[in-house]
Structure 1
Amino acid sequence: MRTEKEMLDLILDVAKNDERIRAVYMNGSRTNPNVPKDIFQDFDIVYVVKETEPFIHNAPWISVFGELLMVQEPEKMDKEIGETVDLSQNYGYLMLFSDGNRIDLHIQTKDYMLRTYKGDSLTMPLLDKDDCLPPIPNASDKDYWITMPIEAEYFSACNDFWWCTQNVAKGIWREELPYAKEMFEAAIRPRINQLVSWWIGIQHDFQISPGKMGKYFENYLPKPYWDMYRSTYANGEYEETWEALFVACELFRLIAIEVSESLSFKYLYEEDRNMTRYLKRVRELPKEAVDIF
């Protein structure tokens, strides 16, 4: 597998030897000093070019980066399914190579770069032939820090969590596994993650990132909380899905109350009690039932 230095040297050599490429910058995890380094980190690279069309119309040019296992071109696919996409301004190649390295490369015009360059605090300039890249602070994950909620956001998260639990319960009782699982992961999980993120933010004065999709939760949660969080992932059995739902409720309650106390918000105790009673009743409900209560 090519090393980080070999990959960066290649990326920069390609740019230096092509007069159409006027600047290079990088963002993503490789610019973040707070994340662990490993072999799966992408190289998130942007080439600032005079025009995108000469690159797009010469598809084989990306072979210069190595032997490809697979490539994805998001803007091309969007355009082909009928979405409105301006390929003349920005175009991406997501490339996985046979040695395991991955480059997410975007080519974009100077005008496009000037509109977006300062929009990500994890941006690091690598090459600037024309001094066209605006000055920016050193790369940091500041843009990804957890934001302190206002009480309306907290209320919405709690209300939505408890409301959506009944959909999961309904799906389990009906033995509609895809529905129950989708409701859990698409409706319940985001609210759990939101409260967990706020809880972590409180512990660190809201100057920390839990990582994309909460991938660093384990690093910041006490072991009992982390063990509960893990238990919210159930297998394909209905009984285990019930268990995961009730663990999710318990964890949500603990975290939400601590957040409410720290931020002087009002927790929805009545909704919690009512929905917990409802969930327990549905779990016990026989299949021939014609009434819930």
Structure 2
Amino acid sequence: MRSEQEMMALIINRAKKDERVRAVYMNGSRTNPNVRKDIFQDYDIVYVVKETEPFINNDEWIHGFGEILMFQEPDKNSRESGMETNFAESYGYLMLFKDGNRIDLHIETNEHMRKHYLSDTLTVPLLDKDNCLPSISAPTDSGYHVKKPTESMYLSCCNNFWWCQQNIAKSIWRDELPYAKFMMECVVRQDLNRMVEWWIGTNTNFEVSTGKVGNYFRKQLPASHWNTYKATYSDDNYENMWAALFSSGELFRQLGKDVARDLSFTYPSQDDENMTEYLNQVRALPSDAKVIFE
């Protein structure tokens, strides 16, 4: 596996030799001083180019970075899915190499760079042939810190978390596994994760990042909360899914009350109590039940 020094030299030297490339910068985890380096970190690289079209029309140039195991063109896939894209401004290549390294390389015009360069606080300039890159501060993950919620954001999160649990309950009773798992992992978990983030934020003065989809929850939560969080994941067994659902409610309740106290909000206890009663009722229903409540 090529070292970081070898990869960075390759990335910069290829840009130096290609007159079409006018500047290079990097963002992502490799620029974050608070992230521990490991063998799976991508190289998130941007080449500022005169035009994108010559690169897109002949992609043989990407093979100069190494022997490719697999690659993806996310912008091309997005367009195929019906999303609006502008290849003339920017285009991306995700490359996984046979030695295990990965480069996420985007090419963009100078105009596109000027619109977006300063928006990411984890940006490091690597090469600037024309002095076109704006001055930027040292990289910091401050732009990714947990943001303090407003009370309306907090209440909306609580409401959606408890409301959507009835969808999971009825799906389990109906033996509709895909919908039950979808609601748990794609809807309810989003609100649970949001509350976890806010709890971490209130305990760190909102000066930390929790990573993508809670990457750092394990090290930022006390062991008791982390163990409860782990218990919110289940397999396809419905009894285990019920247990995970109640674990999610237990954790959300604990953290939600703490956040409400710290931010002078009011936790919606009545919604919590009412939905918990409903869940217990549905869990006890026989498969041939004719009514939910007598």
TM over 0.5: yes
Q: How does 1:1-293 map to 2 (within 5 A)?
A: 1-293=1-293
Aligned mates of 1:67, 1:52 — CA distance in 2: 23
Query: Secondary structure at the residue paired with 2:234?
Result: coil
How many aligned residue pairs are there?
293
Amino acid at match of 1:217: F
Amino acid at match of 2:67: E
* C-alpha spacing 1:81/1:179, structure 2 compared with 1 (3 Å): closer
Aligned mates of 1:79, 1:192 — CA distance in 2: 32
**Deviation, structure 1 residue 81:** 4.1
Query: Secondary structure at the residue paired with 2:164?
Result: helix
Aligned mates of 2:261, 2:175 — CA distance in 1: 38
Stretch deviating more after TM superposition (283-292 or 92-101) = 283-292
Unaligned runs of 5+ in 2: none
**Deviation, structure 1 residue 75:** 1.4
Aligned mates of 1:2, 1:282 — CA distance in 2: 56
* C-alpha spacing 1:81/1:246, structure 2 compared with 1 (3 Å): closer
* C-alpha spacing 1:36/1:58, structure 2 compared with 1 (3 Å): same
Amino acid at match of 1:116: H
**Deviation, structure 1 residue 83:** 3.4
Aligned mates of 1:287, 1:78 — CA distance in 2: 43
Aligned mates of 2:18, 2:194 — CA distance in 1: 45
* C-alpha spacing 1:258/1:75, structure 2 compared with 1 (3 Å): same
Aligned mates of 1:61, 1:105 — CA distance in 2: 12
Stretch deviating more after TM superposition (77-86 or 209-218) = 77-86
**Deviation, structure 1 residue 203:** 0.8
Amino acid at match of 1:259: V
Residue deviations 1:19-48 (CA, integer Å, cap 9, x gap): 111000000000000011100000000000
**Deviation, structure 1 residue 57:** 1.2
Unaligned runs of 5+ in 1: none
Cα RMSD for the two superposed structures: 0.8
TM-score by length of 2: 0.98
Aligned mates of 2:157, 2:8 — CA distance in 1: 42
Residue deviations 1:225-276 (CA, integer Å, cap 9, x gap): 0000000000110000000001111111000001101111001111111111
